[in-house]
Structure 1
Amino acid sequence: MPVLTTSDDIRLHYVDEGPRDAPVLLIVPGWSGSARWFEQQISGLSGRFRVVCFDPRGQGESERTDAGQRMERVAKDLHDLITALDLREITLLGWSLGVSTVLSYVDVFGCGVLRRIALVCGGPRLINSGEWELGFVDVPQALDWVALQRKSMEEAADFVLPQFFRDERPAEQLAWLRSEITSMNPAGSAAMCWNVLNQDYTDVLAKVQVPTLVLTGAHDRVIPAGNGPYLAETIGDARLTVFDDSAHCPFIEEPDRFNEELASFMA
Structure 2
Amino acid sequence: MYYVNVERGVKLAVYDLNPAGKKTVFLVHGWPLNHMMFEYQFDLLPKLGFRCISIDLRGFGNSDAPWNGYDYGRLADDLYEVIRMIGVSEMTLVGFSMGGAIVIRYMSRYKEYKISKLALLSAAAPCFVSREGCPGGLPLEQVNSLVAQISRNRPQAIYDFGQNFFAQPVTPPFAEWFRSVTLSGPGYSTLKTAETLRDADLRADLEQITVPTGIFYGVLDKICPKELPLTLNRKIRNSKLFPFEQSGHAVFYDELEKFNQEFSSFLTS
TM range (shorter): over 0.9
Give per-residue Cα distances to partners, 1:74-100, cap 9 Å, x unaligned. Answer: 101101110111133111000000111
Q: 2:129 aligns with which of 117, 127, 137?
A: 127
Alpha-carbon contact 1:153-1:181 (below 8 Å) kept: no
Cα RMSD, aligned residues only:
1.6
Distance 1:164 1:58 in 2: 21
Q: Which residue is equivalent to 2:267?
A: 266
Asked if 1 retains the 8 angstrom alpha-carbon contact of 2:218 and 2:247, the reply is yes
- Compared CA separation, residues 228 and 144, structure 1 to 2 (3 A): same
CA distance in 1, matches of 2:8, 2:105: 18
**Contact 2:36-2:181 within 8 A present in 1 as well:** no
Q: How does 1:66-77 map to 2 (within 5 A)?
A: 66-77=67-78
Alpha-carbon distance between aligned partners in 1 of 2:178 and 2:249, rounded to the nearest angstrom: 14
Aligned to 2:157: 156
Q: Which amino acid aligns with 1:126?
A: F
Match of 1:36 in 2: 36
1:136 maps to which residue?
A: 138
What displacement does 1:142 show? 2.8
The amino acid that maps onto 2:30 is G
* CA distance in structure 2 between the aligned counterparts of 1:262 and 1:98, rounded to whole angstroms: 16
Q: CA shift at 1:8, angstroms?
A: 3.4
* 2:97/2:122 contact within 8 Å kept: yes
Which position in structure 1 is the counterpart of 2:179? Answer: 178
Q: Which residue of 2 aligns with 1:209?
A: 210
Contact 1:220–1:247, Cα closer than 8 Å, also in 2: yes
Quote how far apart the aligned CAs of 1:124 are: 0.7
**Number of aligned residues:** 266
Displacement after TM superposition at 1:203 (Å): 1.6
Asked if structure 2 preserves the Cα contact closer than 8 Å seen for 1:29 and 1:35, the reply is yes
TM-score under structure 2 length normalisation: 0.93
Contact 2:34 2:182 in 1 (8 A): no
Q: How do 1:21-170 and structure 2 match up within 5 A? A: 21-47=21-47, 48-122=49-123, 123-138=125-140, 140-170=141-171
Q: Which runs of 4+ in 1 moved over 3 A?
A: none
Letter in 2 for 1:100: A
Quickly say closer, same or farther: Cα 1:64–1:112, change in 2 above 3 A.
closer
Determine the C-alpha separation between the residues in 2 that align with 1:19 and 1:10: 24
Taking structure 1 as the reference length, the TM-score comes to 0.94
1:3 aligns with 2:35: no
How far apart, in 2, do the equivalents of 1:180 and 1:42 lie? 16
Output the amino acid matched with 1:155.
Q
CA distance in 2, matches of 1:9, 1:110: 27
Could you say which residue in structure 2 is the equivalent of 1:14? Answer: 14
Shift of 1:52: 0.4
Which amino acid in 1 is paired with 2:148?
Answer: A
Q: Does the CA contact (< 8 Å) of 1:91 and 1:118 recur in 2?
A: yes
Q: Distance in 2 between matches of 1:254 and 1:9?
A: 40
Amino acid corresponding to residue 7 of structure 1 in structure 2: E
What SS does the aligned partner of 1:20 have? coil
Q: Residue 66 of structure 1 contacts residue 189 of structure 1 at CA under 8 Å; is this kept in 2?
A: no
Structure 2 unmatched ranges of 5 or more: none
Following superposition, the deviation at residue 131 of structure 1 comes to 4.8
TM superposition shift of 1:254: 2.0
Instruction: Encode CA deviations 1:109-137: one digit per residue, 9 max, x unaligned.
Output: 01131100000101211121235321133
Secondary structure of the residue aligned to 2:194 is helix
SS of 1:46 mapped into structure 2: helix
Deviation (angstroms), 1:168:
2.2
**1:25-65 residue CA offsets vs partner (Å, 9 max, x unmatched):** 10010112222110111110112211101111111222244
Q: Hey, what's the Cα distance between the residues in 2 that align with 1:195 and 1:27?
A: 20
Asked whether the equivalents of residues 24 and 88 of structure 1 are also in contact (C-alpha less than 8 Å), the reply is no
Distance 1:199 1:227 in 2: 14
CA shift for structure 1 position 19: 4.4
Identity of aligned residues (%): 25
Per the alignment, residue 230 of structure 1 pairs with 231
User: By how many angstroms is 1:160 displaced?
Assistant: 0.6
Worse overlay, 179-188 or 107-116: 179-188
